[in-house]
Amino acid sequence: MTARRAALSGLALLGVVAMAACSAGDESSEALAVPESRLTSAATSAATTNDDGFPAPPSDLPTKAADGTRFPGAEWVHADPASMGFDPKVLRRIARAAKPSQTTCLLVARKGKVVGEWNWLDFAPDQPREVYSMTKSVTSTLVGQAQADGDLDIDDPAKQYVEEWRGTRSRTVTIRDILSNDSGRYWDAGTDYGQLPQASDRTQFAIDLKQQYPPGKVWAYNNAAIQTLDRVISRATGEPTRDYAEQRLFGRIGMTHTRMTADPAGNTNTFFGVQTTCEDMARFGYLFLRRGRWGDEQVVPRSWVKAAVGRPSQEHNAAYGFLWWLNRYGPVIGPLATDAPGQPEPPVGRIIPGAAANLFTAQGLGGQTVLVDPGSQTVVVRIGQFVPGGEDLYGARDAARFVTEALVDP
């Protein structure tokens, strides 16, 4: 398979891996949780935070690049790793360890400058490729922007935009419930990873599923529920979700090689389907590192960034915000687990040992990762080809090594 064909084969791969996990490094809840006793001091001594639990804004990020332009501009500014606090040998060693996992690109940036970038498997740096469930964090951001525009409120019942739910058990499901993955919408692995990806109209398929539990009572990593946000966003904003993404997000921060894809019926894929590059996703991570600000423009409200990644969005899963994964201590539920009645008690811990509690990630099938460490002002992005049966080859824990091992001057 050529690199270009591989980049465009996300739908086919989802059909092949009907029973596979779609994010959180593709790990079980047991593997995700790390007991507090195993954490290093780096994890237990969080960076300076505000009262809301979100890290204080960086104080020493330059506002302009050396040439006087806002950065990242059309191109990222590159810097010597040692000058940015990294051990160059350790940085290169960790990067080389990522190559065997079918990594196509890897990027490490600190304080707005790239300190390491690698491209493998004949992929050009500007060649978009599928990032699977990292799409969810993009979708969450679009909802936050729509709320800022006054088009919706996340505490609105979703039935305002999904008329099929009016007069049904789903009538009380709010947009917040969907973002938090405790909507109670129907979930089982076969439906979520088999039938949904193969549906010609994924949005309608997801909407037509039944209500399984009352909203707020059960947590499940529910691709179908998240796909219904396509209807919510498009109805609330009056334009296709992918067009809204281009106008309100991608275009404003220079993600020129990024697009949201559509299903055969023309609906935007919101639980997977973003095709992008490491440099573009580093911009996305940097946007959240800077609390939604890009240059002189507040692209995403600071309040939304705090709500999405600053604390768990519900009480079931400490590792989950608004479609982002968090490194908070508490009960941890993985992508193929649930705390529904009759299920085992979730393990307690953190998802990334040795990393700060306020670190957060966007993750996708096959080890796709955008990792943001606010304390050190570092963003790590890794994109790779999906390898059936190779889910453990790379994940967010590996990406965190750039912060926990290579950064010697935090």
| Residue boundaries of the structural domains of the chain | 3-134+243-263+276-404
Over the stretch 189-211, which tens digit does the pLDDT of each residue have? 999 999 999 999 999 999 999 99
Phi, psi for 352 (deg, rounded to 5): -130, 105
The pLDDT score that the predictor gives to residue 33 is 54
* pLDDT > 60? residue 56: no
The pLDDT score that the predictor gives to residue 65 is 40
Phi, psi for 344 (deg, rounded to 5): -65, 155
Average pLDDT, the chain: 87
- Candidate from 63-77, 197-211, 282-296 with smallest mean pLDDT: 63-77
Q: For residues 17 and 390, which has the higher predicted lDDT (pLDDT)?
A: 390
Strands 293-294 and 259-260: unpaired
Over the stretch 234-250, which tens digit does the pLDDT of each residue have? 999 999 999 999 999 99
The pLDDT score that the predictor gives to residue 34 is 47
Q: Which two tokens stand for residue 380?
A: 């790590």
The pLDDT score that the predictor gives to residue 388 is 79
Distance (Å, whole) CA 140 – CA 360? 14
Q: Provide the β-strand partners of residue 325.
A: 320, 361
Phi, psi for 82 (deg, rounded to 5): -65, -35
Regarding pTM above 0.85, the answer is yes
Tell me the three state secondary structure of residue 204: helix
Q: Which two tokens stand for residue 262?
A: 């559509």
The pLDDT score that the predictor gives to residue 44 is 34
Q: Which amino acid is at 165?
A: W
C-alpha distances in Å from residue 307, one per residue of 205, 221, 376? 29, 19, 21
Phi, psi for 363 (deg, rounded to 5): -135, 155
* pLDDT > 50? residue 10: no
In terms of DSSP H, where are the helices of 271-370? 278-289, 302-309
Q: Which two tokens stand for residue 22?
A: 């779609």
The pLDDT score that the predictor gives to residue 156 is 97
Distance (Å, whole) CA 135 – CA 197? 14
Judge whether 290 and 58 are in contact, CB under 8 Å. Answer: yes
The pLDDT score that the predictor gives to residue 74 is 83
The pLDDT score that the predictor gives to residue 118 is 97
pLDDT band, very low/low/confident/very high, at 71 (cuts 50, 70, 90): low
Give the neighbor-by-neighbor strand order of the sheet with 274-276. 129-130, 274-276, 259-260
Q: Which two tokens stand for residue 350?
A: 């953190």
The pLDDT score that the predictor gives to residue 42 is 34
Cα-Cα-Cα-Cα dihedral sign, residues 11, 15, 21, 25: negative
Average pLDDT over every residue of 386-392: 72
Phi, psi for 65 (deg, rounded to 5): -75, 175
Average pLDDT over every residue of 281-296: 96
Which residue, chain included where needed, has tokens 């995700």? 32
The pLDDT score that the predictor gives to residue 72 is 81
107: Cα separation from own chain's centroid: 16
Distance (Å, whole) CA 167 – CA 159? 9
The pLDDT score that the predictor gives to residue 3 is 38
The pLDDT score that the predictor gives to residue 192 is 97
Average pLDDT over every residue of 210-220: 98
The pLDDT score that the predictor gives to residue 391 is 60
168: Cβ contacts below 8 Å, ≥ 6 apart: 211
Q: For residues 129 and 47, which has the higher predicted lDDT (pLDDT)?
A: 129
Domain 3-134+243-263+276-404: state its class: alpha beta
